[in-house]
C-alpha cells in the first residue's frame, strides 16, 4: 500500500484514469499563470484528474486576475480528491502561502515554497498516489539565493526518487531530443562526452521509447560533436574514439536501430521529416535550437529514467512578463497532455515487477 505524508498507509486507490499532480512552480514567475490558462480549457473535457500542489486561495486570486471562472478547494487528504465534482480543482499543500505575491522578482519565501511543492510531488508519485508530476518552471538563481543547491528539476527529482540513471528529453514537433550533456559551458563539453555517457543516454532512451512512448523497436540517430561529425578526424577525434564505439556497444545491448554519429547540420532535416524516433545530441544548443525552432512554444521537457512520469514546459519563469499576465500556455498545455499519454503507455508497456 502507498504511504501518505502523515506516515500512515493509505488505501489503494480504486478510481480509474490517470492522476496528475502539478507542482507550484515559482509563484513570482509565469508558471502558475500558464497552469490556470491550460486548466481553463482542460476542464471543459478533462483527460485526467488534476491535483494542484499549492493553496486554493492563491489559485483563486490568480484566476480572478486572469478573469477565469474556476473553482478551487483545499483538501486535507487524498481520499477527498475522488469525491469532488469534476468542475472543482483540488489543491493539496501543507504550507501557508502569502496573501500578496510580488511577481517578477526574487523572493526567498516563494522560492522555498516552490521547492517544497516539488518535494511533495515527488513523494506522491513515488508512493503511487499520482501517475505523473508536471512541473511549472522554477528560477534557479532564486532557489540558490534561498539556500537550495538545485541544478534543475531533472537532477532534483532524480535525487528525491533516488534515481541514478536519468536523462533529459525535449519533445517538440517531430523531434525527441536527448542531451548527453546538459547545462554546461561549451569548453567543458568535450571532456564530458565520454563513451559511458553516450552509451547510457542511448540505452535509457531506447528503454523509455519502448515503455513510455510505446515504440517497440525505435530508430535513433546519434549526433557527432564536431563539424561534419569530425570528417574522419580532421576536426577532432571524439567521433572516432568515443561516440562511434559507444554506438556500437549500445547496439549490442538494445532492440533498436542505431544510426550515427552523423553531422547534425544534415540529420535534423531527416529528423524533422520523421525518419527517427529520437535524436541523441552531445550538448544543449545542438538539440534545443532545432527543437525550439519547430515547436514554436509548445515543446515539453521529459525526464527519462524516473520511476514516475515527469513533464514540464520548455520555458523559464519569465520574470520580465510575470506581472503582465500575457504568457502563452501552449507549452504547459502540451506538458499536461503528454503526461497523460506517457502515464497510459507506462501502464500498458512497462514490464511488470515481481
Cα angle 310, 314, 318 (rounded to 5 degrees) comes to 120
Nearest to 244 by CA among 274, 226, 224: 224
Predicted pLDDT at 17: 83
Residue 261: asked if its preceding bond is cis (omega within 30°), the reply is: yes
Q: Is 19 exposed, middle or buried (0-12, 13-18, 19+ CB in 10 A)?
A: buried
SS3 90: strand
Predicted pLDDT at 3: 31
SS3 191: helix
Spans of the chain, pLDDT less than 50: 1-15, 353-354
Predicted pLDDT at 16: 60
Intra-chain end-to-end CA distance of the chain, in Å? 15
Domains for the chain: give ranges and CATH numbers: 1-163+306-354 (3.40.718.10), 167-296 (3.40.718.10)
Placement of cell 508519485 in the chain: 125
Q: pTM to 2 decimals?
A: 0.90
Angle between helical axes of 330-349 and 195-211 (0-180°, round to 10): 80
For 253, phi then psi, to 5°, come to -105, -15
- Calculate the alpha carbon distances from 199 to 177, 204, 248 in Å: 15, 9, 9
Q: Cβ contacts of residue 140 below 8 Å, gap of 6+?
A: 150, 151, 152
Amino acid at each position: 500500500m502507498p504511504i501518505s505524508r502523515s506516515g500512515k498507509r493509505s488505501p489503494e486507490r480504486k478510481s480509474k484514469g490517470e492522476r496528475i499532480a502539478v507542482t507550484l512552480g515559482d509563484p513570482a514567475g509565469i508558471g502558475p499563470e500558464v497552469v490556470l490558462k491550460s486548466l481553463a480549457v482542460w476542464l471543459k473535457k478533462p483527460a485526467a484528474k488534476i491535483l494542484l500542489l499549492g493553496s486554493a486561495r492563491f489559485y483563486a486570486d490568480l484566476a480572478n486576475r486572469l478573469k477565469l471562472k474556476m473553482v478551487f478547494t483545499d483538501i486535507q487528504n487524498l481520499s477527498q480528491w475522488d469525491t469532488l465534482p469534476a468542475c472543482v480543482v483540488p489543491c493539496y499543500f501543507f504550507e501557508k502561502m502569502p496573501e500578496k505575491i510580488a511577481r517578477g522578482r526574487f523572493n526567498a519565501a516563494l522560492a522555498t515554497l516552490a521547492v517544497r511543492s516539488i518535494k511533495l510531488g515527488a513523494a506522491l508519485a513515488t508512493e503511487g498516489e499520482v501517475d505523473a508530476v508536471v512541473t511549472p518552471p522554477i528560477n534557479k538563481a532564486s532557489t540558490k539565493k534561498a539556500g537550495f543547491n538545485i541544478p534543475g528539476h531533472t537532477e532534483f527529482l532524480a535525487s528525491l526518487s533516488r534515481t541514478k540513471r536519468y536523462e533529459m528529453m525535449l519533445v517538440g514537433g517531430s523531434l525527441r531530443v536527448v542531451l548527453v550533456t546538459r547545462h554546461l559551458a561549451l569548453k567543458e563539453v568535450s571532456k564530458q562526452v565520454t563513451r559511458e555517457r553516450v552509451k547510457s543516454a542511448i540505452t535509457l532512451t531506447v528503454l523509455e521509447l519502448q515503455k513510455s512512448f510505446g515504440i517497440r523497436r525505435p530508430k535513433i540517430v546519434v549526433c557527432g560533436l564536431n563539424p561534419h561529425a569530425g570528417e574522419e578526424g580532421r576536426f577532432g577525434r571524439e567521433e572516432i574514439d568515443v561516440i562511434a564505439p559507444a554506438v556500437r556497444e549500445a547496439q549490442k545491448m538494445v532492440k533498436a536501430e542505431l544510426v550515427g554519429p552523423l553531422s547534425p547540420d544534415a540529420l535534423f532535416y531527416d529528423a524533422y521529416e520523421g525518419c527517427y524516433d529520437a535524436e541523441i545530441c552531445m550538448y544543449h544548443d545542438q538539440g534545443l535550437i532545432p527543437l525550439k525552432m519547430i515547436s514554436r512554444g509548445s515543446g515539453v521537457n521529459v525526464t527519462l529514467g524516473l520511476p514516475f512520469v515527469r513533464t514540464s514546459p520548455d520555458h523559464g519563469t519569465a520574470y520580465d512578463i510575470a506581472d503582465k499576465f500575457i504568457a502563452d500556455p501552449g507549452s504547459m498545455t502540451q506538458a499536461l497532455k503528454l503526461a497523460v499519454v506517457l502515464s497510459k503507455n507506462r501502464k500498458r508497456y512497462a514490464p511488470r515487477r515481481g
